[in-house]
């Protein structure tokens, strides 16, 4: 059994590495067509993403919110739902954090941070949990629902920050009231990356354990495999779908909390920068595995981090990074069909 696990892991590593290399070759040809030396580009990708301290800090800063928003898609996907509402859940989490934060003025720091985290999780969790309920009880398609709920969340944010909760002392940008300064959590010790990274890694690990080591996780996988079969087995599928959606939404909401308490201090349209959508990409590249989400988020964070240096060194447009991400997405998804095709990776007892 242990051998099978090892072989499965090895298969995933080999196939993903091959996919990554193929993507780099394709990207090399792409930049070569623009008259740029591919090898200089590879060099810059590495320099910008991983080589120096500032590169690594940039990469991790990029990756931090993406881990949490990726979970918003990954966890419900294990239960068989395609949720693309991470963007909206993040916004709702951020808004909830600000609203609770201004009420909590004076409450001790540690308690505050916990309550703000819970507020963000409730904001995002209820937002996506509602979609799970709509699907189970009213047959509403969850893809369309979450997509549209993103627009609703952004509209709610814009409405609130342009009037009802607007801080008019900020004259150049429509932003909400700020949470008290003492509630800001700042950066991790020893590295200039905000606390969202630690929260993201811990959330991924906890959910990995939940999904792999508990009966709940096992039941979710059964549900994702075949809802009918899960129902026949007597699983409470409605509650499970809603719970999976709630957990996913709570993670994205927590990303919103971290944006507020570690970066901005207030809610504004700076919460709507595409973290939710990038998370979908990561969830799929990680094949819905919460542990793999950590690694893929760092990889994509690295691509985004080095994208800036590509622009500056070679005067390539920002869209170049998007091309690289797109290529990676297509190649990795295509490579998913390779699993189980190589006899070498099939265990003797498998």
Interface residue list for another protein (CB under 8 A): 37-40, 42-44, 47-48, 52, 54-55, 57-58, 61-62, 64, 158, 162-163, 171-174, 192, 194, 259, 262-264, 268-270, 273-274, 305, 308-309, 311-313, 315, 317-318
Element housing 215 (H / E): helix 215-225
Of the pair 68, 305, the CB lying nearest another protein is at 305
Nearer to another protein, 78 or 264 (CB): 264
Could you tell me the smallest distance in angstroms from the CB atom of residue 185 to another protein? 12
Q: Are the CB atoms for 24 and 16 separated by under 8 Å?
A: no
Nearer to another protein, 2 or 53 (CB): 53
CB 258 within 8 A of CB 195: yes
CB closer to another protein out of 243 and 257: 257
Pairwise CA distance, residues 342 & 63, whole Å:
32
Least distance to another protein, CB of residue 24, Å? 14
CB of 15 to another protein, least distance (A): 26
CA atoms within 13 A on the CB side of 221: 13
Determine contact, residues 275/87, Cβ cutoff 8 Å. yes
CA angle 82, 87, 90 (to 5 degrees): 115
Gap between the Cα atoms of 296 and 318, Å rounded: 21
Q: How far apart are CA 13 and CA 296, in angstroms?
A: 12
Please report how close the Cβ of residue 342 comes to another protein at its closest, in angstroms: 25
CB of 135 to another protein, least distance (A): 28
Q: How far is the CB of 194 from another protein (least distance, A)?
A: 6
- 8 A C-beta contact, residue 28 and residue 41: yes
Measured from the CB atom, is 126 or 300 closer to another protein?
Answer: 300
Return d(Cα 291, Cα 80) in angstroms, integer: 19
Paired with 175 in beta bridges are 268
Rounded to the nearest 10 degrees, what angle do helices 142-162 and 109-138 cross at?
140
Residue 317 or 340: which CB sits closer to another protein? Answer: 317
Task: Provide the minimum distance between the beta carbon of 283 and another protein in the complex, in angstroms, as a whole number.
Answer: 21
Q: Which is nearer to another protein, 173 or 341 (CB)?
A: 173
Contact 44, 313 (CB under 8 A): yes
């Amino acid at each position: 059994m242990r051998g099978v696990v090892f072989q499965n892991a090895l298969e995933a590593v080999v196939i993903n590495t091959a996919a990554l290399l193929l993507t780099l070759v394709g990207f090399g040809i792409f930049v070569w067509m623009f008259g740029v030396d591919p090898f200089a580009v590879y060099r810059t990708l590495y320099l910008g993403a991983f080589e120096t301290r500032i590169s690594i800090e940039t990469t991790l800063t990029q990756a931090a919110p993406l881990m949490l928003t990726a979970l918003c898609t990954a966890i419900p996907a294990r239960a068989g739902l395609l949720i693309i509402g991470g963007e909206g859940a993040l916004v709702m989490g951020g808004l909830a954090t600000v609203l609770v934060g201004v009420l909590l003025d004076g409450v001790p720091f540690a308690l505050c941070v916990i309550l703000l985290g819970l507020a963000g999780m409730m904001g995002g969790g209820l937002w996506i949990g509602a979609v799970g309920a709509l699907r189970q009880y009213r047959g509403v398609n969850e893809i369309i629902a979450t997509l549209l709920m993103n627009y609703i969340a952004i509209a709610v944010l814009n409405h609130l920050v342009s009037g009802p909760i607007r801080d008019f002392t900020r004259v150049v940008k429509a932003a909400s009231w700020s949470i008290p300064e003492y509630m800001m959590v700042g950066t991790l010790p020893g590295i200039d990356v905000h606390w969202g990274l630690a929260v993201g890694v811990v959330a991924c690990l906890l959910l990995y354990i939940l999904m792999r080591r508990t009966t709940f996780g096992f039941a979710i996988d059964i549900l994702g495999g075949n809802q009918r079969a899960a129902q026949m087995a007597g699983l409470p599928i409605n509650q499970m779908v809603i719970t999976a959606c709630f957990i996913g939404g709570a993670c994205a909401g927590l990303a919103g909390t971290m944006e507020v308490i570690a970066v901005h201090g207030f809610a504004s349209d700076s919460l709507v920068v595409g973290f939710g959508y990038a998370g979908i990409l990561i969830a799929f590249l990680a094949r819905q595995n919460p542990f793999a989400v950590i690694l893929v988020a760092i990889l994509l964070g690295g691509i985004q981090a080095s994208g800036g240096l590509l622009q500056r060194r070679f005067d390539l447009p920002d869209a170049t990074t998007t091309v690289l991400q797109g290529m990676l997405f297509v190649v990795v998804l295509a490579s998913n069909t390779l699993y189980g095709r190589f006899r070498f990776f099939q265990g003797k007892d498998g």
